[in-house]
Structures are given as C-alpha cells and as structure tokens.
Structure 1
Amino acid sequence: MALADFARRFEDSLNRRGTVTRVEKGWRPSIIGFTGYGSTRSLHVLGRTVMADPDAKPLFKPLRLPTSTHSVVKEALEHAEKLSETAQRGWRQFFTTQVGFLPVTVRAGDKVISTRTDRSGYFDVLVQDHGLEPGWHEVVIEAAAAEPITAKVLVVNPSASHGLVSDIDDTVMITWLPRMLLAAWNSWVRHTNTRQPVPGMAEFYREVLADHPDAPVFYLSTGAWNTLPTLEIFLTLNGFPTGPLLLTDWGPTPTGLFRSGQEHKKTQLRNLIITFPDIQWFLIGDDGQHDPLILDELAREHPRHVAGIAIRQLNPVEQVLSHGMPEAIDDPRLDGDDEARYGVPTIRGADGFELLAKLNQLKSRRTSRG
C-alpha cells in the first residue's frame, strides 16, 4: 500500500471515530459557507460541513449583505473589527471533524440542486441557469441534521471586460515566518493586526481597477480553507477590494501526502478563464515560490485572456523564509519580457508603491504612443 493510501485511510478512520465521539456529546453537523462566484449563466456555490457544538458560538459568521455600496464598506469594516477584537484563538477552526458524503441542498435563484459532500466534507455545486442578476447575492445551503445557512455569491456582470487575480502570502500579506508555518499562523493567531500588509499594495490594486468598476477580484492561495475567516478579516481591514477566496484542502490525495499548490493555482486560473471567457485578467503574485512560472505559463497558453502580470519581488530575508534560499526559485525576468514574447505587459517591484510607479510609467508610454 502506498504511503498516501495509508495516510488517507488513517485520516478517514480518525475522522469517523471523531464524528461518533462528537455525536455522543450532542454535536451536530454544521455548514460553513464560502464565498461563491459565477456568471449570469452558471454559479459555483462552495462550502464545507463539519461537526460543531450547537451551544458554542460559531467560529465565523459571514458578513451580511447590505443594500448600498456605502453601507457595504461601512458594515464590512465594523464586522471585521468586531471579529478581530473578539475572536478566540483559531486552533478550533484548524482541527475540525469534517462530515463526508453528507446530503446537501443548495437553493440559488430559481434552482434547487442536491448533492453530497466529498470525503473531506467539501462541496462545490455548479448551478446552471440560476436567474440571478449581476452583483452580490445570498444563497441558502441546507444539509442533513444541520441548521440551514446563507452564503455570499458574486454574479459577475456580463459587461465586465477585466478582472484581477491575486496571490495572498508574500503578495499582499507579510508575516516574517517560514512558509511551512503560515497555515498555523493564519489559523491560530488571534489578532489580525499581527499580520502586516505589503506597503502600497492596496493602493496599487485600486489603481489597477480604477478604469474597470465592474472588474471581479479573486484571491488565489495555496492556504487551507480553514484560514478563510482570518484572511477575509485581514483583507477587509487593510483596504483590499472584496472578492471570493479560492483556497485549497490539505491532506493526502490519491497521488501524494499533500495536494500540489502549483496544480491548485493552475486549475483555478483555468477555471476562471472557462467561466469568464470574455474577461482579461490582471495577474498578481510574488517571486518567493512558483508564481512567475505559473503566470508566465498562463500568458503563453492564453495571451488574449491576460491583461498584465505584476510580480512582487521579495528581499533576500523573505526569500529565505519562503523557500530556504536568498534568491528567487524561478529564473528572474525583466519588466516587459512577457510583453515581448506574448504581448502581455509585465512589471516587477519590491512593494505596491514601486509597482504603482511602474504601472503609471507603462500607462504614460502607451498614451504617448497613441
């Protein structure tokens, strides 16, 4: 038996025993709704079911959707600040007992879809012809023996011509910790103000999106779904645009002990291109891991779907913390390399302010040419 098979069976056995123990204590399945997304034609509704104590406060209560843009921003900040002040240490949200193969029903717009969670308790339901208008909505998720919940979903405007996809760790957030400890840090540390934003990145994102008010924003990370609450709080408190997070599940797979972070990013990027075939994407990452290679590959394969690439360059200390060496993993490239080869403009900088300056230079050159 392969090591991955043994680990997977051990995890399943441990989880079954944990489920039985918690049921005897009066615990019941609980639904965690992630932020879903889609077009006016199809919609991804995401979430997970875990065992939870019905008498305990929920680990994370999703943000209610107000009616106006002003109230969205105001309530988001108030919600994040309150969670940041009152949240318990997050070890409970990392060590969960998932409920696999549980019947789940999703009610989105005009459609009702029934499915089951996977072996790790996750579900990703594709709802076709849902009838929802562009904008933020709430869908209802029900599961056997669990209280129904509502989850946020973003229906992207069909007129949107551009979008933004951003990495999180080392791209928008600095922790000054080795990469292998980031998941524990994100999940266990109590206060979001202990995680520092990369200087100028929120301002850089606002400038990138200034001419595209309908542009959807996605955050793509190899972090575990368990870290979603603290990451959403961090992004809100530090002024980053709101958008769905595309995280992953840790643990054994049929081919290895851990899921491939590179394959996760490649798969999600291609899913976005398939879901939104008319959108050109601004892709933002860092050179601490494999982002330059992944984004370069996407630009090579789908140049008409990539509007531009921005890479945050880590300093030598951050490089060591990221992967153990003071230099970037992938071959360093210069600004404009991808533009020369694939027609995709590319800029690099140490922080958001440097990237912003290079973006403005790029715009000036284009204006002068025009």
Structure 2
Amino acid sequence: MSSTEHRDPRETGGAVDPAPVSRLGAALFRLGRARRDVLAAFLRRRGWSFAVLPYPGYGTPGQVRVLARVVLAAPGREPSDVRGVAAWRRLVTLQRSRVDVEVGTDGGQTTSTVRSGPGGLVDAVLPWSLPPGTHPVRFRVGDRPEVGATVHVADPGAGAGIVCDIDDTALLTGLKHPLSAAWRTLTRAFAQRAPVEGVADLLAAVHGAHGEHAPVVYLSNGPWNFAEPLTRFLDRHGFPPGPLLLTDWGPSPEGFFRDGRTHKRRSLQRLRAQFPAVRWVLVGDDGEADPVVYGDFAREHPGAVEAVVLRQVGADVGPGTAREAPAEVVGGSVPVVRGPDGHVLLRRYRAATSGDGGDRPPRLSP
C-alpha cells in the first residue's frame, strides 16, 4: 500500500492514523525553533547573553548527573532571580542549545565542560567521586556570574528509594479539571499553592526508614521552567530533598505533544539502571497515568519495586472509601495501596510492607 493510499478505519480498529498529527507536530517544532533563532539573533545584537538556570542533580559515589538550562537574558538580569511571580511568566524564556557551560564542585576542585542540548537543557553524567550527601555545584557560561545548585549523591546500597509524582500527589493541582488546573497553575505564584495533605509526612517516614542517603526523586510531566519554584515549594513544606525530573511542553520532533508516559517510563528505567540494588517506592495519584506507568514497571521489574502508593483523586473519595478499598498486588509480589491523603497512605503502606503475613495484602494474579 502506498503512503498516500486511503486506509480503511476498520483495518486499524477505527483509530485515527497518528502519522499526520506527528508530521504536524514536527513541522510546528521546526517553525518554533526557526522563530526562536531569529529572535535570539536580534536580542544578541542588543546585548542579551547566555545565562544558566541551575537545577538539582543526583548521583552515586562514582558519578553525578547535573541538570540545568541555558537561556538568553537581558544585561544585568539573572533569570533565576524571579520570585513570587505568576507561573506563566516562567514559560516566557528563550532557550538556547549548543552552548558550552562550565560546571564544577564548590571551590573548583573538580570542573567539567558540558553542552546544552535541545530546549537548552544541560543533562550530563560526569565521572565525579563524591561521598553520599548533598553537595553544592556551580555553573558558569560566558561572562555571567556563577550560579549554584546541588547534587544529591545517594547511597547505591540503600534498601529502598522514593520516586514521587508532583501534580495532585505532592501539590494540589486538580488535573481532573484541566481548565481550572491550567488557570491555577499559570496565574498563581507557587508560594500561594497548597500541598496534598500528609504526603510530605509519608515521604519523610519512608525516607527515614531507609537511611539518610536513600535516593529521592520527583518525577513529573511538568515543564523545566517550573523547577526552581517547585524545589522551593517542596522544601518549604517539609518534603525530603531530591532532584526533579521534568520535561518540556509543546511540540517535539516526534509529535504534536510530548508523551508524558514515555518520559516517566524512560526515567524509571534509567533510575533502575543507575541504582540496580534499590527497590523503589513509587508514589503517585490515580488522576492520570501513574497507575498504568507504575503498574507496568512493577510487572516488568517486580524486584525493583517495594510498593506502589497511589493517592485517590476526586471529591467522591473519602476516608471511609480508602479504608475499605481492596488491597492489590502487581507483578506477583508488589503491593499497591490507595488512599485520599498521605496519612491514610502511610498507614496502609506500613501494613502492606510490614513483613507480617497477616498484614500483607492477599496475592492476586499479576
């Protein structure tokens, strides 16, 4: 069949052929990149220069993953200095790829040069030997002042680690109602946002049970533009410190929208490879794709998952419903616990992972 021949919908189960949508997304991506290149050239002539937005990274005692973003900024202004502004203003940035950035440990004992990739993202694994703990790192580009971030070096032998979603898991967003969620996200400063009840206590308890240097990672489909205020939000509300793994919004070379499920699946596989001895507690909510993504990962790698913990989203879910919800098991051995808030989830997580045969959920088919 030729590429232009009409395909009977019955041959594809009535599904819409994704190829035209993907081609449109790729075309929009190229158009946007060309527009940004023209604007960047104009601003560079007016004195704008490259600047770095630093993000927390993570690693093991043999290597670290550093994360940052290169953008254009006006003379005398640092893009990381903006605080207390509506989130939409953070989306108005001009990212630049193929820019060399110097990154080093505090004091300059160890330095490396990395290059920004698509979307201006700096994402590099460096062979640095740092002990477990939180370490400062510095980024510099051109004549701009250095800017700082941290890398969270975990104990690769920790018994368990945490992967936690953000929207409607740590931060109240209301993604089940997209228009109101978008309005709330784009018009309110993160300092005015509210955490999900009890989830910080849940994560702190799980983290504390597995050691000071157990890895904690916040995995979200939100844009990298929100990394800095999200990091402050999590710290302000008592969440354990850890890096954020975010993504970009808008068209990509592969399609009209970036695939959030693919982003989370790839991130989980990468964490499994980097921490092969760690069993992960996967924390999310049932408002979007977390049950599917976490469930698939647990079925594929049951030995790498200690539990799946899902907050139940929706006004129709109350504490009584959570207490009566049947226990589940995926992958033959991984317990799945559900509840409306962190306090209920912590109680059910402890019961499901206590090792007491009477408290563990019944085994269901994987």
TM-score range, shorter chain: 0.7 to 0.9
- 2:338 counterpart letter in structure 1: R
Q: How many Å separate the matches in 2 of 1:181 and 1:277?
A: 40
How far 1:157 sits from its partner (Å)?
1.9
Shift of 1:51: 0.7
Q: Does 1:154 align with 2:175?
A: no
Q: CA 1:261 to 1:183, structure 2 compared with 1: closer, same or farther past 3 Å?
A: farther
Segments of structure 1 that go 5 or more residues without pairing to the other structure are: 62-82, 319-332
- Residue 122 of structure 2 corresponds to residue 132 of structure 1: no
8 Å contact 1:105–1:141 — kept in the other structure? yes
Distance, in Å, in 1 between the alignment partners of 2:31 and 2:226 is 23
1:184, 1:36 → 2: CA distance? Answer: 30
Task: Tell me which residue corresponds to 2:345.
Answer: 355
Greater CA drift, 260-269 or 21-30: 21-30
Q: Deviations over 1:300-337 (max 9, x none)?
A: 1111110111111112579xxxxxxxxxxxxxx94232
Specify which of 88, 93, 103 is matched with residue 96 of structure 1.
Answer: 93
**Sequence identity percentage:** 34
Instruction: Say if 1:210 and 1:142 are closer, same or farther in 2 by CA, change over 3 A.
Output: closer
Partner residue, 1:48: 69
In the other structure, the counterpart of 1:335 is: 327
Alignment partners' CA distance in 2, 1:191 and 1:255: 31
Structure 2 equivalent of residue 34 of structure 1: 55
Deviation at 1:34, TM superposition (A): 0.9
State the distance in 1 between where 2:129 and 2:356 align.
Answer: 40
How many residues were matched structurally? 328
Change in Cα spacing, 1:172 to 1:299, as seen in structure 2 (3 Å) is same
| Match of residue 304 from structure 2 | 305
* Secondary structure in structure 1 of the residue aligned to 2:26: helix
Report the CA distance between 1:112 and its aligned residue: 3.9
Counterpart position of 2:31: 10
Q: TM-score, normalised by structure 2?
A: 0.81
- 1-structure distance, mates of 2:226, 2:181: 10
Q: Distance in 1 between matches of 2:102 and 2:67?
A: 12
Q: 8 Å contact 1:102–1:144 — kept in the other structure?
A: no
1:265-312 CA deviation, whole Å, 9 max, x = no partner? 001111111111111110011111111111111111111110111111
Q: Distance in 2 between matches of 1:91 and 1:125?
A: 28
Question: What CA distance in whole angstroms lies between the structure 2 residues aligned with 1:300 and 1:27?
Answer: 50
Tell me whether 1:105 sits opposite 2:105 in the alignment: no
Decide whether aligned partners of structure 1 residues 290 and 238 sit closer, same or farther in structure 2, where only a CA change above 3 A counts: same
Match of 1:19 among 27, 34, 40: 40
- Root-mean-square deviation (CA), in Å? 2.6
Does the 8 A contact of 1:186 with 1:227 survive in 2?
no
Rounded Cα–Cα distance in structure 2 between residues aligned with 1:344 and 1:105: 43
Q: What CA deviation, in whole Å up to 9, does each residue of 1:21-43 have, x standing for no partner? A: 32233221101111111111221
* TM-score, L = length of structure 1: 0.81
Write the distance in 2 (CA, Å) between the matches of 1:42 and 1:161.
Answer: 20
C-alpha distance in structure 2 between counterparts of 1:131 and 1:365, whole Å: 36
CA distance in 2, matches of 1:184, 1:123: 29
Structure number with larger C-alpha Rg: 2
User: Does the 8 Å CA contact 1:93/1:187 hold for their aligned counterparts?
Assistant: no
- Mapped to 2, the partners of 1:278 and 1:105 lie a distance apart of 32
Post-superposition offset of 1:369? 7.9
Does the CA contact (< 8 Å) of 2:87 and 2:190 recur in 1? no
Distance 1:299 1:31, change over 3 A: same
Is residue 299–residue 342 contact of structure 1 (8 Å, CA) maintained in 2? no
What one-letter code is carried by the residue in structure 1 that aligns with 2:70? T
Do the aligned partners of residues 132 and 216 (structure 1) sit closer, same or farther apart at CA in structure 2, a change above 3 Å counting?
same
- Does structure 2 retain, via aligned residues, the 8 Å contact 1:60–1:229? no
1:204 is paired with a residue of what secondary structure? Answer: helix
Uncovered stretches (5+) of structure 2, i.e. residues with no partner: 1-19, 318-324, 361-366
What CA distance in whole angstroms lies between the structure 1 residues aligned with 2:125 and 2:180? Answer: 33
2: distance between equivalents of 1:145 and 1:8? 30
Farther off after superposition, 33-42 or 2-11? 2-11
Matches of 1:95 and 1:317 in 2, distance apart? 37
